[in-house]
A and B are shown apart, each in its own frame.
Chain A
């Protein structure tokens, strides 16, 4: 359907792509700062990863190899749908092997295998503003960031601890970047937060509907917000393992076995899981 006669390489016109790349550069220069950009409409729904897709379309070249995952899965409908679009308008090679990919676009997960310096991870973000949970107005949150006024955020953590004895934020747990900006790491589980810190790879975050781009360049200081004497806790999969590849110490999906009705677990990162199984057999 996307033919060269009617559509440009990577769908967007060159002017738009250049504009988005400039926003990306600014984001890399100011880690954790949300750079506003003129988000374009795409053939995929706003709220369905259009921020990430615009970044991918703007940075992708003919030699790139792309992997797209959703919830850790290469084959989920949304991942397939995004891959199909990028493939049709660029003709680039698509892979499920995270080590082979030069660009990985993801929703809600960071791959288990640590990413390298020559790779880029693009994350889709529904609500880029981490302070939205304490303040609905953009005009106000913008000022809060400018003044590094984060007491409201800290207070909500304190309230949680006081009321429940635990911090109730599950995924998209806020992080402090280079001791300056509080940032929403996108709805990745807390387990993935640790991978943001001092990493080898460049993380780009795109929010299409909210029209923001932000970045964590390699070797950036990223700390999950927590009090000095309350440890940050990730999801607990102790004593559990993947029923397919046997992996432990990875993020697992909980599944009810249809036959036995028992609770069992599988790797959330399907590319990682199938790779392990291939190597084992």
Chain B
């Protein structure tokens, strides 16, 4: 646990102009300034992700957990903060300060993302194989047979039948769509996998299969995973460590068992007890 693959320092994502009051740390109404209505979606967040671990992030909707995740994948522009990746220039350059090209490089080579909504992560009208190949093409692959071999491997890894690779994801069930997203995210052997509420909305039996798959992938691919979920059962099953977010801030973090069995903060206690 000494070796962080990712460090995020003082990350803030803000929408609005801000005013004297909220800039000086005045109390907010949830995450919104009562005076100027500026939304502080992420407010001075510090996170480290260690090699090979699964880090869970819990919180209700509006807590900033998805914003954090999507900012990391450069889907949102951040307002302030820095980020360092071990696999990018030896962790010496701030990833948020990079050019568009460099950010694309990071997205295609070092990170993989699975969205809650498969529409965001997949081209619904292209074939499943094409969806995976897109990531390979973006990383510079130009051998058709080479890409196909990789597609076969990846589909096997997420247990999708080869016979269905020509079908578009719109024909697939929700669980299958998530598995295509996962295989796409893994295409270029990234160091980090970002999972945003990947099992939300799926049937329980399907959920269980996807969770099992994630566990298997962590071992097979030796990958570090950041997992956002509002579902404590998912967190308990997968996460080694857990961060609790509320109104854009981290309020508690530690080993998952410790957080769930002996929560220190009143909000976490409430969260744990309401669900157990």
Contacts and interface: CB of A to CB of B under 8 A. Distances in A.
Direct contact of A and B (CB under 8 A): yes
Interface residues of B, number: 20
A136 to B, nearest CB: 14
Which residue of A151, A158, A227, A228 has the most chain B CB atoms within 10 A of its CB atom? A158
B129 A154 contact: no
Contacts of B101: 147
A155 B146 CA distance: 14
A151 B130 CA distance: 11
Contacts of B104: 147, 149
A162 B138 contact: no
A52 B196 CA distance: 52
Contact of B133 (A149, A158, A230): A158
A155 B143 contact: no
Contacts of A254: none
A184 to B, nearest CB: 20
A159 interface: yes
A125 to B, nearest CB: 27
Contacts of B144: 158, 161, 227-230
Given A163-B127, A228-B143, A151 B166 contact: no
A154 B130 CA distance: 10
A229 B146 contact: yes
Nearest to B146: A229
Interface of B is mostly: helix
Given A151-B134, A155-B137, A227 B142 contact: yes
B147 interface: yes
A162 B143 CA distance: 13
Contact of A155 (B126, B145, B165): B126
A162 B137 contact: no
A158 B143 contact: no
Given A158-B144, A229-B144, A230-B144, A151 B127 contact: no
Size band of the A side of the interface? 10 to 19
Nearest to B127: A162
A163 B143 contact: no
Nearest to B142: A228
Given A151-B137, A155-B137, A162 B145 contact: no
Interface in A154-179: 154-155, 158-159, 161-163
Contacts, number: 43
B120 interface: no
Which residue of A147, A154, A162, A229 has the most chain B CB atoms within 10 A of its CB atom? A162
Interface in B146-185: 146-148, 165-166
Given A147-B100, A162-B166, A155 B130 contact: yes
Given A162-B166, A227-B144, A229-B145, A155 B133 contact: yes
Contacts of B127: 159, 162-163
A209 B137 CA distance: 33
A107 B84 CA distance: 54
Contacts of B133: 155, 158, 162
Interface of A is mostly: helix
Contacts of A227: 142-144
Interface in B53-78: none
A174 to B, nearest CB: 14
Contacts of B137: 151, 154-155, 158
Contacts of A149: 104
Interface string A208-236: 00000000000000000001111000000
Contacts of B126: 155, 159
Interface in A134-149: 147, 149
B211 to A, nearest CB: 30
Contacts of A230: 144
A155 B137 CA distance: 7
A82 B254 CA distance: 78
Nearest to B131: A155
Contacts of A162: 127, 129-130, 133, 148, 165-166
A95 to B, nearest CB: 44
A205 to B, nearest CB: 26
Contacts of A159: 126-127, 130
Contacts of A229: 143-146
18 contacts: A147-B100, A147-B101, A149-B104, A155-B137, A158-B137, A158-B147, A159-B127, A159-B130, A162-B129, A162-B130, A162-B133, A162-B148, A162-B165, A162-B166, A227-B143, A228-B144, A229-B143, A229-B146
Interface of A: 147, 149, 151, 154-155, 158-159, 161-163, 227-230
3 nearest CB pairs, A to B: A227-B144, A154-B137, A151-B138
